[in-house]
A and B are shown apart, each in its own frame.
Chain A
Amino acid sequence: MAEKVKLATVWLDGCSGCHMSFLDIDELLLELAPRIELVYSPLVDNKVFPETVDVTLVEGAVSSEEDLEKIRHIRAHTRLLVSLGDCAVTGNVSSMRNSFGAKAVMEHAYIETANIHNEMPTQVIPPLLKRVRPVHEVIAVDVYVPGCPPSAKTIGYVVTELLDGRLPDLTTLSRFGA
């Protein structure tokens, strides 16, 4: 049996819906399981991104300095990187704050509309970038899978194609907002 493909998934600024949709491929998971090794993911317990990963699926937009640092590191250690879902591909809902600016949004959330402790957070929440950006604006992306979320069928197709060594053609399978 051929060596297993090392697969990682990451979750930046998104709702985790793309990961849910991934899990929705149901029994296809059983087919994929013998062919992949899930080396890093919110779905597994590995805390460190491995030295080399064959395929990384990225959910979410780049919103914070932490996201930026993370995705740069991941890119450097990934052979083929997939922007999965609208947040990664377009910024989507995460980027809706861009028209107003990070500061205004933070103040609205933590001061104007807060009932108690009306102050800006200083811990836990990583500093936000001025603008939320789609993944390809900060690092090179190899495959784009739009959709909010992309359907389980689409994700299943993408992963299968990649495992078979082909680049997926998504023209009829997914779209922005799908």
Chain B
Amino acid sequence: MKTTTQTMNRVKTLKIDDRDVSGSEHQTILDVARENDIFIPTLCHIDGLSDIGACRLCVVEIKGSGKLVPACATEIQEGMEVFTQTEALAKYRKLILEMLFTEGNHICSVCVSNGHCELQYLAARLGVDHVHLPYLHQQRTVDASHERFIVDHNRCILCTRCVRVCDEIEGAHTWDVTGRGTKARVITDLNQPWGTSETCTGCSKCVHICPTGALVEKGKSVAEMSKRREFLPYLTSMREKNNG
């Protein structure tokens, strides 16, 4: 039965890493963890866009369940006991990052995003000091056809933030994904050069939301491409207000 107070939000209490915490229903494990300064690494997640649970970095263990769940896409439950920092998780997370390094050609030292890259940051933070999987050395392309931006597929981790920000916030849906497996890549329009895209508004949201040096502004040299993300929480909160 629905109660008369439509917006009534139930509070749920749970444990994260043996700490008692609480959140309102429909909050995710990640939301509640971050509110409580519990660090869970993420790459595909970004506040303000839909969650897809794809990078798997935020997987956590739930007591009583053998399955790992993505903290970004799992809502809290009353009495839930979450573990975010087990030995197994630490190992898996490092492997996920290593996999990304083997898949792309991430040469941090010559990257315009050096020092401003989430992949690079997480590798250091999670203790990936070398990659023990063989590098795949895939041949990937760079599209510099846009007058102001570049997409370098060597540095793309397929987090699809660009796809989502373009679809969900800008409403252009210029970006999408084509191909399968390690051959999958982001494309503009129907796999046309970015510079010829008729739907791209040139808003640069994708560039600034990109966690690595895959989407960058032209004219930047090594380590010069820092990203400005203030627009996303701002737009999200303004839209919530207008819709609410």
Mark A residues whose CB is within 8 Å of B: 83, 86, 89-93, 95-96, 98-100, 131, 134, 136-137, 141, 144-146, 148, 170-172, 174-178
| Contacts known (A99-B139, A175-B120, A177-B114); A90 close to B129, Cβ less than 8 A | no
- For chain B, the count of residues having a C-beta within 8 Å of the partner chain is 26
Verify B139–A176 contact, CB threshold 8 A.
no
Contact of A93 among B109, B135, B138 (CB under 8 A): B109
| CA A172 to CA B123, docked complex, whole Å | 11
Query: Once the chains bind, are B129 and A144 in contact (CB under 8 Å)?
Result: yes
**With A89-B129, A146-B129 given, is the CB distance from A99 to B105 under 8 Å?**
yes
Q: Which of A137, A175, A177 has the largest number of chain B CB atoms within 10 A? A: A177
Question: What is the bound-complex CA distance between A113 and B69, given in angstroms?
Answer: 53
Residue of B nearest to A136 (CB): B130
Per the bound structure, the CA–CA distance linking A7 and B129 in Å amounts to 22
CB pair A146–B130 under 8 Å, yes or no, is yes
Residues from chain B with Cβ under 8 Å of A134 in the complex: 130-131, 135
Please name 6 pairs of A and B residues whose Cβ atoms are closer than 8 Å in the assembled complex, sorted by A.
A98-B135, A99-B137, A99-B140, A131-B137, A148-B109, A176-B123
Which B residues touch A99, using CB under 8 A?
105, 137-140
Residues of chain A lying within 8 A (CB to CB) of residue B125: 171
Which of these, B120, B127, B138, contacts A176 with CB under 8 Å? Answer: B120
Complex Cα–Cα for A170 and B123 (A): 12
Closest to B111 in A: A177
How many whole Å from B136's CB to the nearest CB in chain A?
A: 9
A90 near B123 (CB under 8 angstroms)?
Answer: no
Which of A83, A90, A96 is packed against the most chain B CB atoms within 10 Å?
A90
Residues of A within 8 Å of B62, CB to CB, are: none
A156 to B195, CA, bound (A): 48
